């Protein structure tokens, strides 16, 4: 089962989300010149925007930074159980730039069949990934809670297996060696 850890929030400002427009592909153009020209045009456009639009842009830039840091924290903690990179939803600002306003990282939250010890380790990774951002969302807390339940079930399975095998699940209380 694949579940996602996500941070979804309403969009900022009054501008509807629009898909980004791809630039025309002209092999004679130098990409570094394009980006410098694009930045200069963006800076010029920002200077021509109203004070309200400039405030919206600042909010969008801040939100973009927060969203990207949040999702990258999930991704870094998820390690091998991440099923994809971070996916973002965007909002176009009054300057024509697309800003990330929401995102998610899909992770595998299924138990490891027939291996409660591996399931316990995986549940710990899931919980760590869910709680990795500085401010986990409600969805993140729900995923962490599910991981805790998965871990409790794995511990119960491990105890049942060790008792069935006649082993002391707590191990030796005293280790004497000569």
pLDDT at 33: 43
Phi-psi region of 79 (alpha: psi -120 to 50; beta: other; left: phi over 0): left
Give the whole-angstrom CA distance, residue 33 versus residue 18.
26
- Rounded to an integer, the average pLDDT of 150-167 is 90
- pLDDT tens, position by position, 76-106: 999 999 998 999 999 999 999 999 999 999 9
For residue 138, pLDDT over 90 is answered with: yes
Tell whether the model's pLDDT for residue 161 goes beyond 70: yes
Q: How many residues does the chain have?
A: 178
> What is the structure's pLDDT at 164?
85
Domain ranges of the chain: 2-19+32-164
Which of 109, 103, 102, 100 shows the shortest CA–CA distance to 82? 109
CA distance 97 to 80: 33
Measured between alpha carbons, how far is 5 from 150 in angstroms, rounded to an integer?
16
Q: What's the pLDDT score for residue 44?
A: 53
Q: What is the pLDDT of residues 43-82, one digit of tens each?
A: 555 568 999 999 999 999 999 999 999 999 999 999 999 9
């Amino acid at each position: 089962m694949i579940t996602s850890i996500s941070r979804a929030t309403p969009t900022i400002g009054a501008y509807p989300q629009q898909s980004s427009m791809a630039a025309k592909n002209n092999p004679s153009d130098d990409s570094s010149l394009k980006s410098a020209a694009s930045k200069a045009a963006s800076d010029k456009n920002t200077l021509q925007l109203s004070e309200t639009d400039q405030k919206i842009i600042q909010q969008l830039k801040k939100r973009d930074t927060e969203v990207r840091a949040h999702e990258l924290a999930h991704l870094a903690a998820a390690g091998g159980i991440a099923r994809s990179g971070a996916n973002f939803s965007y909002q176009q600002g009054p300057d024509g730039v697309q800003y990330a306003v929401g995102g998610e990282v899909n992770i595998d939250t299924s138990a490891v069949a027939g291996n409660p010890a591996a399931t316990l380790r995986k549940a710990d990774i899931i919980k760590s990934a869910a709680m990795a951002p500085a401010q986990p969302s409600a969805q993140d807390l729900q995923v962490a809670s599910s991981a805790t339940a998965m871990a409790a079930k794995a511990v119960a399975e491990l105890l049942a297996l060790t008792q069935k095998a006649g082993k002391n699940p707590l191990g030796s209380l005293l280790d004497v060696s000569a």
